[in-house]
């Protein structure tokens, strides 16, 4: 089946604890309907980075096969997320001097300024994956969201630049190709998650997304519908499991079960009299675990993660501008009492982000869990880019009939948008340059 003609998109989340593939389509009301989902245990990924090609390829094949069988779709292209502690972001100022102050600033002037950012000198082994304009300045008049049509000689802008290790990008590409597929787009994971769990009002008012995965915690801060700050903290749910394993001297599988079934983010909420018995090792008697002690271990590590996330919020300069507060998503968001702990430590209103912001009725109810927010967001990102491709084709068809120059400029104007830039290729791999206004 031709997925583009049938408007069917596949998102592939290559995570530290799981690899998940989701097949989706839009229903008559424009809402996402999940046709199938497949997942496999991830054994070749560490802290968001592929460390074992063969194991990762095997897990991808298993997840894709399950999603394909459930949906009845032959999968050939996927939208893939990228994360990991190698991700870096910073602000870069750009300046473009125009030849004439009489002519209006055009799309070409804006694109020229953006393209200059792609020629920045980076440390060896890194490359730019996203270039996101924050706001523009025309002849020293700042705070301009869209300079096109204005007059001026000096065009400036602050850009939010996100880079990733070239080796990490190449390894993701290699895994997908060996699994007999190709990458349609590569998207920073917290940006994909934001599509699934954040509302337009939250991004306008100011909101911080904290995506707690298995290996990393991803942060994305939005204000006035523009992404202002991104960061990756190299700790996630797996480090909590390791703490439990070491602190209580239990097996890893038992530590994970204790965390998910009995763990609490606030130790005072656990009953001191509640005891959990786990099987002993090699004919040894069962071991009794205090839920109070278990929750104390969990709270200590969660406080560290929240402190690091709060430090990122403060360093971004937007702490006092987050009227939408904090939205927590990812597998770690399911931990009991986490919302209250985050509110207590940060002083910001907090909610748990479920990926149902743009979802209608679905055959797979499990996909509405926070742990699948990234995969759902990757599907939504694919639909955005597909819609823009169709719109561009329609505009190109009009070129022959009516006002060629005007239509061409409209088409170019769209090319700077968030998901149209996803279609650009860098070194044969689809990398996106995100439009700073992030209009969805």
Backbone dihedral angles phi then psi of residue 416, each to the nearest 5 degrees: -90, 0
Q: Output the pLDDT for position 107.
A: 85
What is the per-residue pLDDT across 162-190, written as a single tens digit (0 to 9) for each? 999 999 999 999 999 999 999 988 889 99
The residue that leads in pLDDT, 284 or 394, is 284
- Lowest pLDDT segment from 25-39, 60-74, 301-315, 325-339: 25-39
- Token readout for 54 is 């063969």
pLDDT at 392 over 60: no
pLDDT at 227 over 60: yes
What is the per-residue pLDDT across 314-372, written as a single tens digit (0 to 9) for each? 999 999 999 999 999 999 999 999 999 999 999 999 999 999 888 887 778 889 999 99
Torsion of CA 32, 219, 146, 111, to 10 degrees: -90
pLDDT at 407 over 80: no
Contact between 12 and 21 under an 8 Å Cβ cutoff? The reply is yes
What is the per-residue pLDDT across 236-259, written as a single tens digit (0 to 9) for each? 999 999 999 999 999 999 999 999
Per-residue pLDDT band at 198 (split at 50, 70, 90) = very high
Per-residue pLDDT band at 428 (split at 50, 70, 90) = very low
- Token readout for 385 is 């880019």
Contact between 65 and 38 under an 8 Å Cβ cutoff? The reply is yes
Q: Output the pLDDT for position 132.
A: 85
Topology of the domain covering 1-87+162-197+357-440: Nucleotidyltransferase; domain 5 (3.30.420)
Q: For 199-356, give the CATH class.
A: alpha beta
Per-residue pLDDT band at 313 (split at 50, 70, 90) = very high
Among residues of the chain, what percentage have pLDDT more than 90?
53
pLDDT at 119 over 80: yes
What is the per-residue pLDDT across 124-149, written as a single tens digit (0 to 9) for each? 889 888 888 888 999 888 888 888 88
CA 111 to chain CA centroid, Å, is 25
Upper half-sphere CA count for residue 121 (Cβ side, 13 Å): 0
Q: Name the segment(s) of the chain with CATH classification 3.30.420.40.
A: 1-87+162-197+357-440, 199-356
Paired residues of 160 in beta bridges: 91, 132
Handedness of CA 145, 150, 156, 159 (dihedral sign): positive
d(CA 412, CA 158): 21
Whether pTM > 0.95 for this model: the answer is no
Handedness of CA 262, 267, 270, 272 (dihedral sign): positive
The three-class DSSP label of residue 21 is strand
Upper half-sphere CA count for residue 133 (Cβ side, 13 Å): 27
Q: Output the pLDDT for position 401.
A: 58
d(CA 411, CA 433): 17
């Amino acid at each position: 089946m031709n997925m583009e003609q049938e408007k069917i998109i596949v998102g592939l989340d290559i995570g530290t604890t799981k690899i998940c593939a989701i097949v989706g389509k839009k229903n008559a009301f424009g809402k996402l309907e999940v046709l199938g989902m497949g997942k496999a245990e991830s054994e070749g990924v560490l802290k968001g980075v592929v460390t074992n090609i063969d194991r990762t390829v095997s897990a991808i094949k298993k997840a894709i096969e399950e999603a394909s069988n459930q949906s009845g779709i032959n999968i050939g292209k996927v939208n893939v997320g990228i994360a990991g502690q190698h991700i870096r972001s910073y602000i870069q100022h750009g300046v473009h001097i125009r030849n004439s102050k009489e002519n209006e600033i055009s799309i070409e002037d804006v694109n020229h300024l953006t393209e200059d950012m792609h020629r920045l000198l980076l440390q060896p082994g890194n490359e730019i994956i996203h270039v996101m304009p924050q706001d523009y300045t025309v002849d020293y008049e700042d705070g301009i969201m869209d300079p096109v049509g204005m007059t001026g000689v000096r065009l400036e802008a602050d850009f939010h630049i996100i880079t990733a290790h070239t080796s990490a990008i190449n390894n993701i590409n290699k895994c997908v190709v060996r699994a007999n597929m190709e990458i349609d787009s590569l998207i920073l994971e917290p940006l994909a998650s934001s599509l699934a769990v954040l509302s337009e009002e939250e991004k306008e008012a100011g909101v911080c997304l904290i995506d707690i995965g298995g290996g990393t915690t991803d942060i994305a801060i939005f204000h006035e519908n523009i992404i202002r700050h991104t960061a990756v903290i190299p700790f996630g749910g797996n480090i909590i499991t390791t703490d439990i394993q070491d602190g209580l001297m239990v097996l890893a599988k038992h530590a994970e079960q204790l965390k998910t079934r009995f763990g609490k983010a606030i130790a005072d909420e656990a009953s001191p009299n509640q005891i959990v018995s786990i099987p002993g090792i090699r004919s040894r008697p069962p071991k009794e675990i205090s839920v109070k002690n278990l929750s104390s271990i969990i709270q200590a590590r969660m406080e560290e993660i929240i402190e690091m996330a709060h430090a990122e919020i403060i360093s971004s300069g937007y702490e006092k501008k987050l009227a939408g507060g904090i939205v927590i998503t990812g597998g770690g968001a399911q931990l009991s009492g986490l919302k209250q702990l985050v509110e207590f430590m940060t002083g910001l209103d907090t909610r748990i982000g479920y990926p149902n912001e743009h979802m209608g009725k679905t055959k797979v109810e499990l996909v509405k869990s926070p742990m699948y927010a990234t995969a759902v967001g990757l599907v939504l990102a694919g639909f955005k880019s597909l819609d823009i491709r169709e719109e561009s084709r329609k505009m190109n068809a009009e070129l022959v009939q009516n006002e060629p120059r005007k239509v061409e400029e409209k088409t170019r104007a769209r090319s700077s948008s968030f998901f149209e830039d996803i279609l650009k290729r860098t070194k044969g791999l689809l990398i996106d340059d995100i439009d700073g206004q992030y209009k969805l």
